[in-house]
Amino acid sequence: MANLIEDIGIIGASAAASSETFRVSKDADTGKTRKLYIESYGCQMNYADSEIVASILKKEGYDTTSDLRQADVIFLNTCSIRDKAEQTVRNRLTHFTAMKRNNPGLLIGVLGCMAERLKSKLVEEEKIVDLVAGPDAYRDLPRLIAQVDDGGKAVNTFLSREETYADISPVRLNSNGITAFISIMRGCDNMCTFCVVPFTRGRERSRDPKTVVAEATDLFNRGYREVTLLGQNVDSYKWSESENNKARLEKKGVDKLVNFAGLLEMVAQIHPDLRIRFSTSHPKDITDDVLHTMAKHENICKYIHLPFQSGSTRILGMMNRGYTREWYLQKISRIKDILGDDCGISSDMISGFCSETEADHAETLSLMDTVKFDYAYMFCYSERPGTLAEKKFADDVPPEVKKRRLAEVIERQNAHSLLRNKADIGRVFKVLVEGRSKKSEAYLQGRNTANKVVVFPKEGYGKGQYVQVRIEDCTGGTLIGKVAE
Ligand code: SAM
Ligand code: SF4
């Protein structure tokens, strides 16, 4: 059983917290002359951005490749969220130096959050970098590449107040053909003190809902059965015909607008067999309207990723999260009132934020005990240059204390994940099959509405089908069952 679980690529909570993994573009040979290789780091939004980049360059005569050696252009789509993510990218760049030496015509570019954060410094420090493009500069990539082809270096890190790439149909790079991500907004206006995102990805703007519905409809018609709507704070999605920038919308007092509940409603109506998920929700912004819309539509998955970051109201205040411990717990009660105890809830948390005491840490553990999350992404606090926390507070929790507290948090979460999964034994779930197990042809893998991974013997079923599965066993990360009669 252990092999089976490893095989389908489920990583435990501790692995998720410690690894800085990346995704590589897949091979697409449509007869184009040049090859683009993209390595993407960080969050789902970054992976979705790489698909926009691939789409823009496809029109310029590039096919994607998963083989570095075939590439004419190598892009690293980077993440700045923690120092470790940046270090991984720097190590990767060192690795590319030899390739560039043997192939001087090879173009190496840095995209995404690190590009925005480090700008031309990257070109100067990492001598092999030819091109730097921030998250809002991807339409400019053809011009930037031409500039490098002409013998120069190219940098564009301009942050837009309107860009959403609404009209660009992404090339699916790591797709299983069943589930896909759709960006519905960009940027973040929240200014959590620990976070670099508002600086690297700019102001919050929402994408035209008609283009979101069109993209989801097209995916459904091509056989996809699940879309995840993506944004740093989906609950603050706001769009009107005249304005898509949240700050300007609020300033102008526009009240005829589409909010997140409205967008969910529109996407849910595309087809009952198209499942909808979304991420990330913010405790201060998720509304009863959203929860009622979820309850109304069977095809909106009963799962919410609701980061809490810390169980201590004092620390939450210093983080500028805009809610208290009590407010967070009340939101959890609201979710359970409207959607029931079966609704999957996952979270993010940070150990060792500035001035965190043992008492604050104990409050984090006790909040976890109260909620019993199904899953969590857990991190040590990593001070980021330029953030409000870096300017205002001392990063004064010693690394070994951060690590010990994180280990305690992970241990607690592992126990809760197992407990929550054990409660599902004997129950029957509707599972959307995403594919087969890599090692065992005889097993399929999918997820239930609460986002739990379910593995079961194939019995003639296949990818893209909905199957009723009775759960017979579990680990902390997986439910294991058989097709229910
Ligand atoms: N917008 C989402 C939200 O507010 O919940 C999350 C965005 S961030 C990409 C994902 C997670 O990274 C955060 O929820 C937080 O737990 C973690 N994170 C962000 N900045 C961090 C930092 N400086 N050190 C450690 N973890 C951090
Ligand atoms: Fe960062 Fe806070 Fe915005 Fe999330 S809500 S992206 S943590 S600033």
Highest mean pLDDT among 196-205, 252-261, 342-351: 342-351
**Cα(193) to centroid(ligand 1), Å:** 10
With 70 as the cut, is the pLDDT of residue 242 above it? Answer: yes
Report which protein residue has its CA nearest ligand 1's atom 13.
348
Report which protein residue has its CA nearest ligand 2's atom 4.
232
Confirm or reject: Cβ of 80 under 6 Å from ligand 2.
no
Structure tokens at 416: 């809760």
- pTM tops 0.85, yes or no: yes
Confirm or reject: Cβ of 230 under 6 Å from ligand 1.
no
Q: Which residue has the higher pLDDT, 98 or 19?
A: 98
**Cα(223) to centroid(ligand 2), Å:** 33
Q: Which helix (H) or strand (E) holds 328?
A: helix 325-339
Least confident of 29-33, 152-156, 336-340, 461-465: 29-33
**Cα(189) to centroid(ligand 2), Å:** 8
**Percentage of residues in the chain with pLDDT exceeding 70?**
96
Average pLDDT (344-362) is: 98
pLDDT confidence of residue 318: 98
With 60 as the cut, is the pLDDT of residue 458 above it? Answer: yes
End-to-end CA distance of the chain: 23
Confirm or reject: Cβ of 172 under 6 Å from ligand 2.
no
Instruction: State the ligand closest to the CA atom of 80.
Output: 1
With 90 as the cut, is the pLDDT of residue 122 above it? Answer: no
**Cα(354) to centroid(ligand 1), Å:** 15
Question: pLDDT tens across 364-384, in order?
Answer: 999 999 999 999 999 999 999
Closest CA to 229 of 286, 293, 276, 299: 276
Compute the distance between CA of residue 325 and CA of residue 313 in angstroms, rounded to an integer.
5
**Percentage of residues in the chain with pLDDT exceeding 90?**
75
Instruction: State the ligand closest to the CA atom of 387.
Output: 1
**Cα(479) to centroid(ligand 2), Å:** 31
With 90 as the cut, is the pLDDT of residue 172 above it? Answer: no
With 80 as the cut, is the pLDDT of residue 5 above it? Answer: no
Question: pLDDT tens across 291-321, in order?
Answer: 999 999 999 999 999 999 999 999 999 999 9
Instruction: State the ligand closest to the CA atom of 200.
Output: 2
3-state secondary structure 58-113: HCCCEEECCCHHHCCEEEEEECCCCHHHHHHHHHHHHHHHHHHHHCCCCEEEEEEH
Closest CA to 193 of 409, 473, 394: 394
Confirm or reject: Cβ of 387 under 6 Å from ligand 2.
no
pLDDT confidence of residue 8: 28
**Cα(191) to centroid(ligand 2), Å:** 6
pLDDT confidence of residue 20: 55
**Cα(388) to centroid(ligand 1), Å:** 14
Average pLDDT (470-476) is: 96
Helix, strand or coil, per DSSP, at residue 463: coil
Confirm or reject: Cβ of 43 under 6 Å from ligand 1.
yes
Question: pLDDT tens across 13-70, in order?
Answer: 333 333 357 788 778 777 778 999 999 998 888 999 999 999 999 999 999 999 998 9
Confidence of residue 175 (pLDDT cuts 50, 70, 90): confident
